[in-house]
Amino acid sequence: MVSVSLFILVTLITTVISQECVPYTSSYNFTGYPGIWEKPTSTVFNTDEFKRVNSSIDWTKVSKVATHKLTKAGDIDQTGYSASDPDCWWSYNLCTTPKAAGLKPDVVACPEPGTWGLTYDDGPNCSHTVFYDFLKQNNQKATMFFIGSNVASLPNEAKRALADGHQICVHTWSHQYMTTLTNEEVLAELYYTLKVIKYVIGVTPLCWRPPFGDVDDRIRAIAQQLNLTTIIWNLDTNDWNETPDGTETSAQVDTTFQGFVNMGINGTFNNSGVIVLEHELDNNTMSKAVECNTQTGIANIDVQSTTTAA
């Protein structure tokens, strides 16, 4: 995670990202991967490569937990789930300490007091140049949770993250609610994202974040056998929910972010740091990241630990 001194400037400087993008061409060959932004299917399940990966998993260590379903609105359906939360299902009860034996707890906060963990989901984004320039100019190193399909679509854009010193983690191949998937689908979502990141960027991630935070002990057990530590968050900026695509105004997102800053000022982080959820989703969220990071005057960034390995 990234350690950041919570030094707050009074001056508000607003920078707005508005950048068109034409993807760089590349010679990478993604034959044998799932379709871009498609949930993995038997097309990859039946390959010799995936069969080898599947056979390498000790399925006796994976809880026999029923898959969940989505509502008609596309949200996770919690109907009928036990109030005792036997599977440590984050979507139900924000559970992060597994109940199944042998599983490591999720990482939800930076352990060092007074630290601010910069994390951005859903990249790489074709129009992220201004955003990445801002991070570089301000010596801010973040943890980037990359979607495998985006890495395959934008391989040269993805490489910049490592070049700028950011940590690279997995955010699945096609951004599904993981607890709604079969074991094969879960394994493929994680494996092919690991593979494409290694192929394009040159590192093997040791960390991942479930889309929507949707994880339970079944999913954790599969991820752990791929040497992936589950990283959640304990502060959500709600940048993903800003209008026009969401329901919160820009001012509401600003208020949420400023509330986190105030927590740093009043000593809330004196005993433990935080992991803050933000997004490299689109120009809207990246612009908000630049604006809010400028508001706070976050400085003196120091990378405390590495979560990727060559």
Q: Which of 292, 274, 28, 305 is nearest to 169 (CA)?
A: 305
Asked if pLDDT for residue 289 goes beyond 90, the answer is: no
Q: What is the DSSP letter of 234?
A: S
Can you give the pTM of this predicted structure? 0.89
For residues 216-238, average pLDDT: 97
Hunting for tokens 């607003």 — which residue is that? 14
Per-residue pLDDT at 211: 98
Q: What is the pLDDT of residues 18-30, one digit of tens each?
A: 556 777 788 899 9
pLDDT of 296 reads: 55
The label of the residue with tokens 């992060």 reads 96
Please give the Cα distance from 296 to 140 (Å, whole number): 13
Residues of the chain above pLDDT 70, percent: 88
Question: Which residues are designated catalytic?
Answer: 121, 279
Question: Are 196 and 207 within 8 A, CB to CB?
Answer: no
| pLDDT of residue 3 exceeding 70 | no
Q: How many CA atoms lie less than 13 Å away from 172 in the CB half-sphere?
A: 27
List, in order, residues 6 or more apart from 9 with CB less than 8 Å away: 295, 296, 297
Backbone φ and ψ for 132, nearest 5 degrees, come out as: -65, -35
Vertex 179, ends 95 and 206: CA angle to 5°? 75
From 11-20, 151-160, 270-279, the region with the lowest mean pLDDT: 11-20
Task: Identify the pLDDT of residue 288.
Answer: 84
Band (297; pLDDT cuts 50, 70, 90): low
Instruction: Give residue 236's pLDDT band: very low, low, confident or very high (50, 70, 90).
Output: very high
In this predicted structure, the answer to whether residue 53 has a pLDDT above a threshold of 90 is yes
Decide: residue 256, CB within 10 A, 0-12 exposed, 13-18 middle, 19+ buried.
middle
299 confidence band (pLDDT: 50, 70, 90): very low
Alpha helices, H only, the chain: 42-45, 48-56, 90-93, 129-137, 148-153, 155-163, 183-201, 217-225, 250-265, 283-296
Position 20 scores a pLDDT of: 64
Higher pLDDT residue, 30 or 10?
30
Res. 304: pLDDT tops 60: no
